[in-house]
Structure 1
Amino acid sequence: MAEEREYRMEELARRAGVTVRTVRFYRERGLLSPPRRQGRIAWYDDHHLARLRTISALLERGHTLNGIADLAKAFESGRDVGEALGLVEPSEETPVRLTPEELADLFEGEVTPENLAGSLELGYLAIDGDEIVHISRRLLEVSAALVREGVPLAVVLDAGRRVRTHADALAGLFTEVLRTHLPEGDVERLRPLAKSVVEAELSMALDRRLREEPPGA
């Protein structure tokens, strides 16, 4: 593992491509965490450098400093979510690690403080240092695809909240059935059968809805 570097303010600013005055301004706005003090010398590290580069990238994408400050607050509020992720049971879903810039590229123009806070609230996102963790690669890819097709991210997140309610109810139904009629050890083994039933029923329900409600109706 590479040793973390430390920088004086002048070198930090040079590496980040900003001025020393800008670094001071961001510190005053609370966008940068305080440096490590050694006597009268302030030492900054790679986390500060990553944050400065992130701020520059977000500014280039049209975010305001007020918006970035809100994002930073939302990031901080997600730390408890990140800790909670380490306590959940093993899942079939594969988490994905992203930089803030990569997340902004996936959802161009849609990574607003409100959408970020909503994703944190749902548990889709968590913050781990300077990286963002999405709990499910499949969910991330589907969400990004919907946004590319023109569905606003806020609408995707709202749909996710509503789907979760029904998904929890379905999961409760199947676990009750399996635990009532099978030994405990067989419940996890037969989990794919429950998923297949849900997928088949959803497919048939979509067929019915599409027949009943033609486009533009």
Structure 2
Amino acid sequence: MEELASAAGVPVRTVRYYRERGLLHPPRREGRIAWYDEHHLARLRTIAALLERGHTLNGIADLATALESGREISDVLGVAAPTEETLVRLTPEELADYFESEATPENLSQALAIGYLATDGDNLVHMSRRLLDASSALVHRGVPLSAVLAAGREVRAHADALATLFAGLLRTYTPDAAPGELRPLARSVVEAELSLALDHHLGAGEGPARD
């Protein structure tokens, strides 16, 4: 424990206190010797970084609970199906940089439940760089992260329905085509329809009324 405290730059009593609060996992024991590893050190550094950003120990404890209740990255990815999306690995403090005060335990739990986030040891993995950047941009424009996540849950359901529709079409009429050849066509149809719908709804109050 003394070596861990020294490496993290905190007093030994702080390490003991964090253990008592459940912020640190118990060490591996061999007889009377307690062994701490790089995961304990990473957790101490994460706690220090979050405290510097204004989080309370109670909030950090809630974040730790949410992280540990999340699905592991291997569970989310399953059999490592191919994807066009780019995974983003984040420390908890890096996630806080993206969403600032909106990176609450409640929102983190929702993101884990939706599948936007998964755990990978002491770190997090966001399932899509594009979704992460778009979510962060919406939050910085004043949309609460809870509302972004609620919308994401609805979008997920609609996207799954669209994917089911196009997959059925392709399997029925182009059974010999490679999925990679037809996937861009399905995406183009959805993007064009969404663009037209946004033109209608976001432009409803601008210019002359349309029939």
TM-score between the two structures when normalised by the length of structure 2: 0.91
Equivalent residues in 2 for 1:125-140, closer than 5 Å? 125-140=117-132
Q: Would you say 1:84 and 2:81 are equivalent positions?
A: no
Q: Would you say 1:58 and 2:45 are equivalent positions?
A: no
Q: Offset at 1:211?
A: 2.6
Sequence identity percentage: 70
Cα RMSD after superposing both structures: 1.5
- Does 200-209 or 143-152 show the bigger shift? 143-152
Gaps of 5+ in 2: 207-211
Aligned AA (1:67):
G
Question: Deviations along 1:63-97, whole A, 9 cap, x unmatched?
Answer: 22222111111111113464232435211111111
Aligned AA (1:24):
R
Aligned equivalent of 2:103, options 83, 97, 111:
111
Distance 2:18 2:63 in 1: 14
Aligned equivalent of 1:43, options 35, 39, 64:
35
Runs of 4+ in 1 over 4 A off after TM superposition: none
Aligned equivalent of 1:27, options 13, 19, 30:
19
Question: Deviations along 1:35-83, whole A, 9 cap, x unmatched?
Answer: 1223322221110010011111112222222221111111111134642
Gaps of 5+ in 1: 1-8
Q: Secondary structure at the match of 1:133?
A: strand
Q: Offset at 1:10?
A: 1.3
Distance 1:211 1:107 in 2: 29
Q: Is the 8 A contact 1:175 1:187 kept in 2?
A: no
Distance 1:165 1:184 in 2: 28
Distance 2:79 2:205 in 1: 43
Match of 1:3 in 2: none
